[in-house]
Amino acid sequence: MSHLKPRILKPDQEEVAPQTEPVKTYRVRGIPYFQVLNNVGQPVVEPPDWAQRKNPLVALYKVMLKTRLFDQKSVALQRRGQLGTYASSLGQEAIGAAIGCSMQTDDVLFPAYREYAAQFSRGVSMTEILLYWGGNEQGMNFQHQDKDFPICVPIASHIPHAAGTAYAMKYRGQRRVAVCVFGDGATSKGDFYEALNAAGSMELPLVFVINNNQWAISFSRKHQSKALTLAHKSVAAGIPGEQVDGNDVIALRQRIGLALENARDGRGPTLIEALTYRLCDHTTADNADRYRDSEEVKNQWVNDPLVRLRKHMQILGLWSDQEEKDLNSRYLAEVEQSTRAYLQTPPQPVSSMFDYLYERLPDALNEQRNAAMDQGHQNG
């Protein structure tokens, strides 16, 4: 899987991206950058062997399209008051798809809150995701995935958990890998640095994936760190770091797959910075127009990962308009069925928020539980 050639810049060398790609000039010192497809679906290097066959490409496209349609429905449900605050993955579907399609069944995923494509690939249902954002944490009690961790909303707190799990895998002599996904903002937290250092010093089977969508809520990447790339933060931990075009699902799957192989074979962790863009608000509780130029967002739509892969498959004669129409219809029906199952699920009793933390509830919380129950009966 390692034949994909990187573009490696020499110290102080500056590279200007091709005119077909509307990205700014960037500077990288010693950190490789990987890309297979440009934003019009044309290869810039020879694609890997697996990416020259229809089935692997269609599998990636299916999960990205499914995630996009689910995302649209989820935002609509929130706007109608039928779902709580929801974090969209619009424009970032390639990262989750590549992760989910690269991992083995007994690996362990540590997601943040935009990794729906990875979760769908690994057996989590759309109804479960809706239940979680609807306030029912039973949605994280996955019925067909008993290894992966639940969605982590606190920034970076799951990264040390991933390091601990990877340590357990190594201690037990297992050929398993932990994969931890987080945003660019998480790389400014101490949890990240501590876990990175532990992974490097103990050579843990752990793959870190940074979803660098350029915005940590309302704080831009250029303002939160002076690091030339976020991948450079791997240097202090003594582990490999690289950048990958986060809108190019082929490059992502190739590089994540190689990192997983290395970790599984005892060659330690890897840090992958996936460069993408958040085409949506941070969550449905956010209004990105307050801090982000709408023209900037408009220009980034040319990098849509779904359009890029679809164009590539069409160029190769592997995808037709009829296949696109049929797949849309199939997933729209699946989304509607999952939505009905979510809306028909009886709500959890108010007492449930107190029932799963302590073996014996402290007196102060017991008083709160009784008060909440009384209020619930009055409202009922």
Token duo for residue 258: 């190689």
pLDDT reading at 351 higher than 90 = no
Closest CA to 59 of 326, 258, 257, 309: 309
Q: For residue 356, what pLDDT is reported?
A: 82
pLDDT reading at 36 higher than 60 = yes
DSSP string, 239-302: S-EEEEETT-HHHHHHHHHHHHHHHHTT---EEEEEE----S-SSTT--GGGTS-HHHHHHHGG
Q: For residue 376, what pLDDT is reported?
A: 63
The larger pLDDT score, comparing residue 218 to residue 374, is at 218
* Segment among 2-16, 297-311, 366-380 with least mean pLDDT: 2-16
Is residue 326 exposed (0-12), middle (13-18) or buried (19+ Cβ within 10 Å)?
A: exposed
Instruction: For residue 4, name the pLDDT band (cuts at 50, 70, 90).
Output: low
Q: For residue 19, what pLDDT is reported?
A: 33
Q: For residue 271, what pLDDT is reported?
A: 98
Q: For residue 9, what pLDDT is reported?
A: 39
Q: Identify the CATH assignment for 14-348 out of 3.10.310.30, 3.40.50.970, 3.50.50.60, 3.40.50.1370.
A: 3.40.50.970
Closest CA to 96 of 166, 51, 52, 151: 151
Q: For residue 378, what pLDDT is reported?
A: 60
Find the mean pLDDT for residues 282-301: 95
Instruction: For residue 236, name the pLDDT band (cuts at 50, 70, 90).
Output: very high
Residues serving a catalytic function are 278, 282, 291
Closest CA to 100 of 278, 326, 253, 306: 253
* Segment among 207-216, 255-264, 313-322, 351-360 with least mean pLDDT: 351-360
The larger pLDDT score, comparing residue 209 to residue 6, is at 209
Q: For residue 355, what pLDDT is reported?
A: 86
In the chain, ranges of CATH 3.40.50.970 domains: 14-348
Q: For residue 380, what pLDDT is reported?
A: 55
Find the mean pLDDT for residues 67-72: 98
Instruction: For residue 11, name the pLDDT band (cuts at 50, 70, 90).
Output: very low
The larger pLDDT score, comparing residue 345 to residue 16, is at 345
Contact indicator for 242, 230 with CB cutoff of 8 Å = no
pLDDT reading at 20 higher than 60 = no
Find the mean pLDDT for residues 125-140: 96
Instruction: Report pLDDT digits (tens) over 250-274.
Output: 999 999 999 999 999 999 999 999 9
Between CA 133 and CA 82 the distance in angstroms is: 10
Q: For residue 357, what pLDDT is reported?
A: 82
pLDDT reading at 290 higher than 80 = yes
Instruction: For residue 350, name the pLDDT band (cuts at 50, 70, 90).
Output: confident
Instruction: For residue 55, name the pLDDT band (cuts at 50, 70, 90).
Output: very high
Contact indicator for 176, 206 with CB cutoff of 8 Å = no
* Segment among 24-33, 329-338, 357-366 with least mean pLDDT: 24-33
Token duo for residue 132: 């979680």
DSSP state letter for 347: P
Find the mean pLDDT for residues 149-165: 98
pLDDT reading at 5 higher than 90 = no
pLDDT reading at 215 higher than 80 = yes
Tell me the average pLDDT of the chain.
92
* Location of structure tokens 């809150």: 113
pTM for this entry? 0.90
pLDDT reading at 14 higher than 90 = no
Which helix (H) or strand (E) segment is 344 a member of?
none
Q: For residue 124, what pLDDT is reported?
A: 98
